A and B are shown apart, each in its own frame.
Chain A
């Protein structure tokens, strides 16, 4: 088994050598999917999930496209399979067959939070996007809001994978231009903790090298000994603290134990250092390249991407001629007449976004896995925003891109009766992975799913 190398990854990304049967080195070391017993176990897991849904998906990627869209330029025309992409999504035309665009889904959780007087037009949509929970508690007068509940569905999918025996290098990849915060964090744990956005690639990848098997094993044993000692340090400290301190140390200990488990199943994923581009346009590509490389060697099966926080101080995109910040543009297009330049600029933002999504999907499709499928085939990408339009959250701009070996019936514009609960879509997304959930989020919202609208007949 060879580790993935940068050269191999580039071959995969670029599709230059299309005759390559598989991307070299997509494998695990001493890993889950090696050995007859583990393979049999994996088949059993697969069979159990197949009993819930045909072709359960394997990889989940959530993208948050902040600050909503313009309905007149975002929703397609036509219906069902006979639809025409609107101008903001036009760049997705080459992958239209993998696409589901939706209309009629409301983020009722965010609406209700606003009605209750706790919303601000953004944070409630961000934090409910994948959780179905309102957020209330917060750090005083900051842009940092705590969610009242979790987990977000990326965490649920990750936990399901682990329950089924998969142990990646990380539970999930979380990348973006922003740190954690109420306007940017969509991946939220059951305990309301939020994922860090990290650019530390050493967590995901091994550096290229020529270490012998003995050296690798010694390093593994050494790290385990060190980690054991660290866990002992934290365990000793625990009885000496209480309250919030104890909660924090408990969480730290749980993470250490999770890391320890991962050490025992070492997924190797070798990659050169990714240089950090100064340019925001290239950094966006880098985010997707990192996810592609990591997923190609099964270092992770879940990822969330928040390009930029929502709300005030939004991003500027000088590389596509957008100097005004996106959040401000999102308001300008509400109040300005159609001929106003803000519409073209806001569309430029969405087209740029769509071009990036296209590139990402094409890269995923270009990578062949050991079983002959492509990396995209078992992948579901869910793209959402915290708002639809003008701080409101009906008709959310939700978009799904899914491979053929998932339950989704793609290549369609799915227009639903108005006011469908977005939590039902979250249930459908979970069930697409073979999860048996019937409800996501706050129990005040009814159970239900949108499987019939989205899954293959």
Chain B
């Protein structure tokens, strides 16, 4: 979805539930087949992720990847930085960022799906990445202190927002002055009708 705000007739609470339900299903059964792509082969072949880097991550995290771009291709986090991944899912980008910031940095993943967060936490533990922290939260009210973050990542999540201006303001709030945002998201070339903008299935894609 490209519009910055949702149609007034859309039940935003129901929308949030539909989005959470979709990604809970991906977390519980990544191989079930979805109307969007998932997994490490997709990440490498379509989005340019490094295959060796993906192979070094736990399979539960790469199998549940459903991003739409490659935000870390815009720049690698620096050692000791604080990184927040908004909508971290099962943690693919979060884990790559955690390795880059090292043990004295922090990599905080925020997601609305408990199942996804559990996968991300388990993968971080398996890799011994103690700098990783998963926080359950909403991209419209990030559970992150103001001006505390060097780099915000997000991959395929902001298009799910019913209030993108609020989501952008939240990211702006948590970044320190001079902090960077590296996001990947979907855009559309054609204007969307109200009927399409009110379709829960398309919002949750």
A-B interaction:
no
